[in-house]
Structure 1
Amino acid sequence: MTPDSSRSVVPEEFRAVLGRFASGITIMSTLQGGVAHAMTANAFTSVSLEPPLVLVCVDKGVRMHEAVLSRGDWAVSVLAAGDRAVAERFARSGRDLYSQFDGIDTVPGPKTGCPVIAGALSWLECRTWATYDGGDHTIVVGEVLSLGTGDDPGALIYYAGQYRDLRGS
C-alpha cells in the first residue's frame, strides 16, 4: 500500500488505523466533593522516569474532565484480564454518578484516597503535573506519588475495537 498525500483524514479511518495498536485498559478515578468519579481510558502511557510521570487523555465532554482538573490528584488502575465488565461499566456514558461504583471492589489510594480497583494488575496515584490541549481531549500529565502491583499475571487489552484477555505464559 502506498500512502496517498492527497487524501484527508476521515475519522472512521483514523479510528480503524489506530485500532490496530493494542493498548492496555485502565480506569482513571478521582474524588470531587467526596464523590468518586471514574472513566475507562486506553490513552495512558509513561512519560518520564525522573521524575516519574504518566499521562492520560481525558475527553473534554465528559464529567470526569472537570472532576480531575479541579481535584488535581487521581489514580489509575491497570485492569487485569478478568476485568472486562469493569472496563465496560466505566466506558458507558450517562451512568449514575452516585451508584457507578456499586458492586466494584475498591480500596482508597494511600496518598490521595482516590479509588483504586481491588485486584488491578497494577495501580498508580498521581498529582497533576501539567495539562495540554489535545483537540477534543486534555492531555493530563501526572507525577506518580505511589504505585503497586497485583497478583494477576494477565492483562486486559483493547485491539481492533474489542477487549481481549492477554494471559501471561
Structure 2
Amino acid sequence: MEFIIPIKGAVKFNITLDPSVWIFDDRRIDLDDFFSGKYEYKDELEEYTKVTSAHWSREIIEGSTVPPTLKSEKKYERTKLLTSTFGIDMKQFIINAEPLMGVTKVVVETPDGEHAFSFEEIDSLLLKFSHKGKPLREDGPVHILHKDGSNINNPIKNVTAFRVE
C-alpha cells in the first residue's frame, strides 16, 4: 500500500501528501475530543498574536528570562501522541493546491471506486490519519470523515488520490 496521496486534476500545483508526518503538525485535531464536543477551534493567527504580545509585554516589564523546563508537560504530550486518535482538515490541502477557476467538485479515489464531493462540501470533511496513536496501515493512509460524525462508523477508507474537477 502507498502512503503518499496525490492531489491532482484542475489545480495549479499538483501536491503530494504524506500523512505519516501529520502527527507533528500543529493543525492536527484530537478526534476523540472533536466528536465528544470538547474540541474548540482556534484561529492560528490570533493565537500566535496573543502569545507573541504576551511574551513581548512580559519581556518589557520583567526583562528577558529563560523559560522553565516542564518535564511532566512534555511527558503528557508524548503520551497523548501515542494513545490518541488524530485527524486534520481536508480543505487546507485542497486550497494549497490552488484549484483553477470553475472547479465544482473533489473526487476521492479508492480501489473500491470514487466518491465525489462538491467543492463547498470539502470544508465539512476531516482526514483521519491515526487511530490510538498508530498510523492507518491496513486500510489507510487516511479515512475520510464528516465533521458531523455521520459516517464515523463507516468512513471512506483506502484513499489513493484526490482529484479536483
TM-score over 0.5 (shorter chain):
no
- Give the number of the structure whose residues are more often helix, by fraction: 2
Greater RCO, CA 8 A, separation 6+: 2
TM-score (norm 1): 0.23
Higher radius of gyration, 1 or 2: 2
TM-score (norm 2): 0.23
- Give the number of the structure whose residues are more often strand, by fraction: 1
